Chain A
Amino acid sequence: MRPLPDPVDEAAAATPPLKVARRPAPHDSAAKHVAGAALYIDDVREPAGTLHVVPGYAKAARGKILSVDLAAVRAAPGVVALLTKDDVPGLNDVSPAHSHDEPVLADGVIRFHGQPVFAVVAETREAARRAARLGVIEVAEETPVVTIDEALASGRDDVLPPYQFVRGDVEADLAAAPAVVEGSIRIGGQEHFYLEGQVALATPGEGGEITVLTSTQHPTEVQHLVAQVLGLPAAYVVAEVRRMGGGFGGKESQATQWAALAALAAHVTGRPAKLRLDRDDDMMMTGKRHDFRIDWRAAVEPDGRLTAIAMDQYARCGHSRDLSLGICDRAMFHADNAYFLPVVRIASRRLRTDTVSNTAFRGFGGPQGVVGIERVMDAIAIATGRDPLDVRLANLYGAGRDVTPYGQTVEHNILPELIAELEVTSDYRARVAAIDAFNAGSRILKKGIALTPVKFGISFTLIHLNQAGALVHVYLDGSIHLNHGGTEMGQGLFVKVAQVVAEVFGVALDQVRVTATTTAKVPNTAPTAASSGTDLNGMAAKIAAETIRGRLAAFAAETWGGDPEAVRFEDGHVVAGNERRPFGEVARLANLARVSLSSSGFYATPKIHWDRANATGRPFLYFAYGAACSEVTIDTLTGEMRVDRVDVLHDCGASLNPAIDIGQIEGGFVQGMGWLTAEELVFDKAGRLRTHAPSTYKIPTATDVPADFRVALYEGGGNPEDTIFKSKAVGEPPLMLPVSVFSAITRALASLKPGVVPPLDAPATPEAIRRAVLAMTA
């Protein structure tokens, strides 16, 4: 490790060491998970009379609806009610951007295959499933626009206007450059495959009130859109989520429709109603990671340094806007990844296709941007004959080369040191030599290695979302009730925020009870997304807890003497003057003295601003960094591939919980590896998704994870910004670490023909790798 100024140590010198935060506490629900005692929505005991809702859809992917014949559905056993657009008392729209392009139930037009046209409400789920298949929907079918190329050729309007970042005259520089490298890469989409599918349970209350248990990352949006659909004030609707069985972005905007349908069924029937999507319906009816095509041309110096680059990003958005604006913007924000692009144009098209609306997925467009520029780095290396790592190092942000294409200065860039450390610990150079020797002597099998960095901007680029609230109560026995606007989807948010609160009060972690996220306790929240959950909610909870602690300190100082500032909260006790009292006793005495033991807390991220019209500002509070070195072997006869070894060094600042953070890094790596190597979404020409179940859509299994998988947290980086205990966000950045796997495959292929960039697209399935082999050896 290098001797660097250590902000953590400086902070530590000023305050006593942390006792609960920065410890590897297990997930708050770990013991319940393993015992089958953690309740998901489908596990909650149903209220008496609960009905079940199943959506029905047309066979067509595009066209006007000519007729909807539901007679057989209505007559089916157990059917209680049918829902169509005409049953919506409020607005038939759940678009997150209020763009009025996401009907709850089709409004006369089929926009994609699987779009819900009606919903069956029945006594049992099985009855509803059987009945839903009996609908006869006649559609004036039109040929759907399915792919990026079809969308470009169609000449139709995009879902959103194009957008670009420009610095300098790229075309002039490219025209004048001695060497221009160019290419195009296609990057497939990705299904979230949260293990718990979309589900909601709506229970009607009195006077039109409704409570929805919803598996969502965004309860506030569910609340407001359910109210909008039912034509109710938001105050009539409560949305609650204790935990999700995985989210990954797939439940940021797209949990809403199912909550709205359950609520609509409850509204129409007056009975509780549950909707849990079948896996196949879930995969057909909900959006995925956007597939991209990225075309690029780069002017390059002989030393591999890039002087100018033009990149065109084409994103397949599906039939509606959903969150595509932010996603495609973030792809542009990460089109540089870790590299200085002196003269640059990054252009983005948001293409409309007659397919399900693509949506948030861990990384939110960033990963596609990163894959694009890392392909450029690999191509430059191949064109110049230099080692890809040297090309990457030559292009990193550095002194005097530190302004992004969107005008934010890259501060506190630790990548040069981080990469240098990983280069040594992964033994990169020696392994490159060994691999070259192996390839020279191996006819069928070829190896490749790559070390790629990640720089990921932390903050919502929609600035107003960078806010959070929390609510903390201390009860008379000293137990603490913690609530905040963040949702738990497995990422360990609840335990991290509980660690923060326990730290503030100087109590043991088990004294803090984390409770279900509900719009009735903390209102008007942002989604738990953009890796921001801990940064935002941890701060809000800390502020709430500190407010109560301040009152207790004042009370203790007044009661037992001394300065309120000198009162200490430690080891479950409050120490004031010469008194040392158990925390619970102090709470009880404070209550008798009429001191409030409850507080909300509110946090808004400082420093950030973004002028989208002029494409300039500081959209990110800071960057999270990491790097990975991956080695692969490919079989050139079949295209099969094996990942032999992975080394990761990742920056979590001063980690709030190293166990949780390593879990995010490993899980993100494997999820990203699946995206880039095995997970293939196949749509047919009629616009139907053919890979709508795990039998055909293959996420990684344990065998796909290399036995030699070395993950370390980067020590000593801290976070120079004032984040929660100097930690850094970790949810999304690791997803881009396995770009190293993709680059390693590229390098293995490149060994077949020096100087030629392998035409490898993602995902690098056996077929894709073999296709590239054939192209290289033709």
Chain B
Amino acid sequence: MARKNLQFIRKGRVVEVADVGPTTTLLDHLRLAEGSVGTKEGCNEGDCGACTVALGRVRGGRLAYEPVNACIQLLGMVDGAEVVTVEDLADGGTLHPVQRAMVDLHGSQCGFCTPGFVMSLFTLYQSDRAADRETVCDWIAGNLCRCTGYRPIVEAALASCAGAPADGFAARATEIAARLTALADGADVFVGDATRFFAAPSSLDALCRLLAEHPDATIVAGATDVGLWVTKQLRDLPKIVWLGRVAGLDAIEETETGIRIGATATYDAAAAAVAAIDPDLGTLWRRIGSKQVRVSGTVGGNIANGSPIGDTPPALIALGATLELRRGEMVRRFPLEDFFLAYGRQDRAPGEVVVAIEVPRLGPADLFRCYKISKRFDQDISAVMAAIRLTLDGDRIASACVAFGGMAGVPKRATAAEAVLAGAHLDDPALPRAVRVALAGDFQPLDDMRASAAYRLDVAGSLVEKALIEAAGTPTSATRVFGLREAAVAPAA
């Protein structure tokens, strides 16, 4: 028996919502229905962070707060969570430590981005991460400020988020966790009717049954893309099936050959596991979206979405990943690269759902590199994304697997370049030039607002050249301005 309403905790009380459209956003609910106007709309597309709020959920037995962009978070997605907004932080007349630090260190000017920063810092405050500068900058990369230049905000974070949390939220953590656990009824959620609904099945079987019944439904995982269909394109999506309650679908498991990432594992949850495969993956993961995007967005969604500029597919293709899909009782497994048929078209039938992605570990002779080129280091969409796996035999390249994003209508392997690389010696001075020539046969990239076709083709060659230079033993301190492997640290969790 499905539950017919949404339930979440707000200001210490359980809120039940039964009368809500399938795509009503959390931000609209807060500002228009609840009248909590402290949370701002800056861009309505999850890029500026002014609408950041914290969601409390029980993770690994304890209460954890994560920052999300309320503008592209569907209200149904907060089912079972505690929703904390900027108005909730002060304890009576006493500002929260992160608020106090922002005031004392002059962290606000116009103030419009400030509630979002405060909420991001609040989640950092509650986390067990050491608040060093790099962590702070990463944590607030999804919050844009046009006034301060960030220095005082970073300092406010360093000053207030250093130790263990000691605020009212920390004091109530056990109680809130218990109440959230009590809310976790394991029920299927179905709000609406057969023509317009927000549904959140709680098991894979229930999901497959629901999709069999409604193959035209929009499947939503983190909504970091679907959210924009709603807010920007004003698309009417009458049937929403959210995967977030499907038990076990977010599992990340070590297997004999590598890792298996469940379809609804968020980027954030998968970060440590992929970084363990190669430090470049850790750097790449840290540059996907922002903290807000990474705690919502999923690896499965990044694949299923089929975008030509998703950052995970090129890397996963180069690693030789396998995709698992399910429709009804039928399960299919095939190489990830075969999933992307053409621009906007994937090998997925209506009602079929991505279940997991299996990523093999690198072999002892494998050398892996991946690079992302964008106008801005953080929270930008790639102009070109390159992933390169060379299987070496001494200084000879036995075989190569090279995949790119941003170079074609789909994430795509550079087969001609791979052929040139295979059998070549790393120190062959003619090799980079030969690769560039081959790439010109592999790809006819487009001009757009992110880069010209000429630059895309040129920099694709540069990235392979860089990989070859690094493969020959040059330290990345001499080849990169970002993401040094020698200094690589664990990616932001």
Seen from chain A, the residues whose Cβ lies within 8 Å of a Cβ on chain B are 24, 26-27, 29-40, 42-43, 45, 129-130, 133, 192-197, 243-248, 278-280, 442-445, 489-492, 633-635, 637-642, 659-660, 662-663, 666-671, 678, 680, 682, 690-691, 693-696, 698-705, 707, 709, 711, 765-767, 770-771, 774
Contact = CB atoms under 8 A, between A and B. Distances in A.
Contacts of B102: 30, 33-34
Given A34-B108, A691-B449, A671 B479 contact: no
A504 to B, nearest CB: 24
B160 to A, nearest CB: 11
A680 B87 CA distance: 36
Q: Which of A442, A445, A638 has the most CB of B within 10 A?
A: A638
A531 to B, nearest CB: 15
B147 interface: yes
B149 interface: yes
Contacts of B376: 678, 698, 700-701, 704
Contact of B112 (A196, A442, A443, A695): A196
Nearest to B39: A36
B482 A245 contact: no
A699 B146 contact: yes
B45 interface: yes
18 contacts: A27-B111, A36-B39, A37-B87, A45-B35, A245-B111, A248-B146, A442-B478, A444-B479, A642-B481, A667-B148, A680-B375, A699-B146, A701-B143, A702-B140, A705-B149, A767-B452, A767-B459, A770-B459
A245 B39 CA distance: 13
Q: Which of B42, B371, B481 has the most CB of A within 10 A?
A: B481
Given A766-B373, A770-B455, 7 more contacts: A130-B234, A638-B371, A640-B482, A682-B448, A695-B45, A703-B377, A766-B374
A489 B110 contact: yes
A663 B103 CA distance: 13
Interface in B41-88: 41-45, 47-48, 50, 85-87
Contact of A196 (B110, B153, B448): B110
B45 A694 contact: yes
B449 A490 contact: no
A645 B407 CA distance: 34
Nearest to B156: A34
Given A704-B376, A767-B455, A243 B110 contact: yes
A696 B108 contact: no
Given A42-B37, A694-B47, A670 B109 contact: no
Interface stretch (B130-138, B196-204, B396-404): B130-138
Given A129-B234, A704-B376, A671 B146 contact: yes
Nearest to A640: B481
Given A34-B114, A694-B43, A701 B150 contact: yes
B375 A678 contact: yes
A490 B145 CA distance: 11
A632 to B, nearest CB: 9
Given A36-B86, A195-B48, A770-B455, A26 B103 contact: yes
Contact of A36 (B87, B103, B452): B87
Contacts of B172: none
B466 A637 contact: yes
A696 B45 CA distance: 11
A640 B459 CA distance: 11
B258 interface: no
A236 B300 CA distance: 59
Contacts of A667: 109, 146-149
B87 A35 contact: yes
Interface in B184-243: 232, 234
A702 B136 contact: yes
Contact of B480 (A635, A639, A663, A668): A635
A510 B317 CA distance: 62
Interface stretch (B259-267, B346-354, B378-386, B410-418): B378-386
B16 to A, nearest CB: 24
B37 A29 contact: no
Q: Which of B40, B44, B112 has the most CB of A within 10 A?
A: B112
Nearest to A636: B462
**Consensus secondary structure, chain B interface:** loop
Contact of A638 (B143, B234, B381, B459): B459
A702 B137 contact: yes
A695 B309 CA distance: 13
A667 B152 CA distance: 10
**Consensus secondary structure, chain A interface:** loop
Interface size class of B (residues with CB under 8 A): 35 or more
A104 to B, nearest CB: 25
Q: Which of A27, A34, A659, A701 has the most CB of B within 10 A?
A: A34
Interface string B109-123: 111111100100000
Contacts of A774: 458
A703 B478 contact: no
B89 interface: yes
Nearest to B35: A45
Contacts of B108: 27, 29-30, 33-34, 490
A33 B449 contact: no
A696 B87 contact: no
B406 to A, nearest CB: 13
Given A637-B465, A702-B154, A690 B448 contact: yes
Contacts of B381: 695-696
B433 to A, nearest CB: 14
Interface string B88-100: 0110000100110
B445 interface: no
Contacts of B47: 693-695
B146 A43 contact: no
A602 to B, nearest CB: 28
Contact of A34 (B37, B85, B95, B234): B95
Given A641-B481, A696-B450, A34 B99 contact: yes
B230 to A, nearest CB: 10
A27 B143 CA distance: 20
B86 A35 contact: yes
B431 interface: no
A279 B45 contact: yes
A430 B490 CA distance: 35
Contacts of A490: 108-112, 147
Contact of B133 (A42, A698, A707): A707
Contact of B144 (A129, A699, A770): A699
Nearest to B450: A696
Contacts of B136: 702
B11 interface: no
A680 B374 CA distance: 12
B432 to A, nearest CB: 10
Contacts of B111: 27, 29-30, 32-33, 38, 243, 245, 490
Contacts of A680: 375, 449
B150 A705 contact: yes
A640 B153 CA distance: 26
Contacts of B448: 682, 690
Given A130-B234, A133-B234, A195-B144, A765 B375 contact: yes
Q: Which of A31, A489, A671 has the most CB of B within 10 A?
A: A31
A622 to B, nearest CB: 25
Ordered nearest first, which 8 A-B pairs have the shortest CB separation?
A36-B38, A490-B110, A245-B112, A33-B111, A670-B149, A36-B86, A490-B109, A666-B149
Nearest to B458: A770
A445 B458 contact: no
Nearest to A492: B109
Contacts of A489: 110
B106 A638 contact: no
Nearest to A666: B149
B463 to A, nearest CB: 7
A35 B95 contact: yes
Contacts of A40: 40, 112
A696 B44 contact: no
A311 to B, nearest CB: 29
A660 B109 CA distance: 9
